[in-house]
Structure 1
Amino acid sequence: MLSSVDVNDIQEHSTNSKTNDEKECRLSKRLCYILRYGAMKEGLEIFEGGFVDVSQMMELDMMKHHSLEDVLQKVETSLSHRGAKRFESKTENSKTLIRACFCRNFELSTYHEGSNVPTLLANCLDHITSNINMYDLEDFPDEYLINKMIHRLKRQKKLNNSTLRQLLVPILEHLDLDGVYVTEGTIKLIWRSCPNLKVISLKDCGYVSTDNLMEQLLKNLPSLESINLCACKHLTDRTLKALCRYSKNLRQLNLSWIRTMSEKAIIDLMIKCTQLKHLDIYDHKISPEGRRCMVDIAKPRGLTVVLKGLNDQQVAPANPCLMLPNFGLTW
């Protein structure tokens, strides 16, 4: 039987472990934010290749509760869910530089260099996005600025059906709704309002992405080249057939974290989508025969296939976390 002292020790150990886990989780999130897209916004210098001086980073307020040793250890040990390194480091001119291995998408600083004075562009975007319902952007000619507004509202967690109705306009060719709460009505608005879309990410929009809706989307957006359907778990072989039928320009496709699609339908898609250059099916269960078939299809076409355990150097990427190149970009 445990004494009261033993029980207290166990509880204290459990509390300390939980506190340490929470601290490590916060550190990982902060490193991802800074090294993937927030470095310039936080006023850090970006070196060639997306590297950041770790000593400069440690001066940020958000890092004051973390030690340099903790940061460097996290850089060396942090792995993605696919087992790939999230970060890497190097020493150059007596400086320790670190960067994210993937998903880098640095934002321009919203302040004038060396000051806390917001730029005119930042002020204008703040005003417009704060009063978005007052603006008619139907014929606005600058896709880059529209996507800046979408990205800003998404970061502020203010991107919803109401704001999207104002921002989904014909000029858009790239649309990233990764993790945004959208409805069936929003998806319909996409193909009605953005007929020229070439790139779309619906990652983690599985609650609304059905075969019927995807079939209509693909039918009405024939110019799509890059599609991210990661974690849209209700989609089946019917969506793959629709891709074969309507997406003749498809070059990049992410189907990871979907367990409702058959091996046969995936192979059929690889055969029929002749422009396809990158296919992510990382966690799909594919038989040895199916893997051999996929390699035979992919090799002569230079098609990259991301699949756990696939080691063929001519087909599998060296980094299993390779992202589709357009996803996440601010246009």
Structure 2
Amino acid sequence: MKQINPYQWEPGSGDWAVEAHGLVKTFGDNRAVDGVELKVRTGSIYGVLGPNGAGKTTTIRMLATLLRPDAGSARIFGYDVRKEAQIVRQLIGVTGQYASVDESLSATENLIIFSRLLGLGRAEAKRKAGQLLEEFGLTEAAKRPLKQFSGGMRRRLDLAASLIAQPPLIFLDEPTTGLDPRTRSQMWDTIRRLVSTGSTVLLTTQYLEEADQLADRIAVIDHGRVVAEGTADELKASVGTSSLHLRVGDPANIEQARQMVERVLQAPSMVSPEAGAITAPMANADLVTDLLIELRASGIGLAEMSVQKPTLDEVFLTITGHAAKAETSHPSREPHSKQKEEASV
């Protein structure tokens, strides 16, 4: 079997980290994944956005060789996930794969064990463990046994363990679920650092803000299918234009300002006389400059001006007809049991 050192391996420039075509996975009568298409460019952060039960985790497990696809194909850095699974496994890291750590050992001891298993020397393993514990805010709990850890702390330790080797491709399956806002922000910084130092990240999330903040490109997945794909700005533009919000300094000028807005922007407007505010769609940003010149020439002063883009919430709701974050999962659609995973590999 071909051996690859993930510490030294470098993909060629312009390579695709992930190429998936027509991936299908069925559990009984349920098609958890129904023809998923994905292309993830090397050196990027790619977000897969969707609610629980949409097929995100099942897709990740097929790409990571943990589940065998029923149909379709997938390649990781050009290697086939079915025919060259052992090579693929040397090039990826998956959060959650270290769930069966020793509960009686400390966080430091667990990370040292994982580091040694990955081929690090004793001193380097100890150094790496300390570095990761500090990065994930676990230094004070480093000597405590894992059975005393909270769910959020375990989540951080799982991610730390998956990053020991910093593989070329890292799958993060809802990495910030259950974390407080401060720790979530720290996790985002870590993810950005991983990419800046050479890794590619594919993350699944049901947090719209997370996809917006992190992902270079986003696939919106619902009921096992990719229903939209693009940058955050492209997805927002697909469901509507930005809106221009103006608040005039003197409410007595609001009617004159409204007429000017509609004439210059060539669009209808909404007016709030009490607030002296005007809102209008902004299909052509160049016209805003013309509007400001005309307002100034007419002696109409502005107290406030802002441009608001459609949110990813609006994107998801428009595309799928429901919100991105679901309250309950659908285990029949996306089983999480280890037995089912192992039986399918």
The two structures have a TM-score, normalised by structure 1, of 0.28
Structure number with the higher helix fraction is: 1
The structure, 1 or 2, with the larger RCO (C-alpha pairs under 8 Å, 6+ apart) is 2
Structure number with the higher strand fraction is: 2
Larger radius of gyration: 2
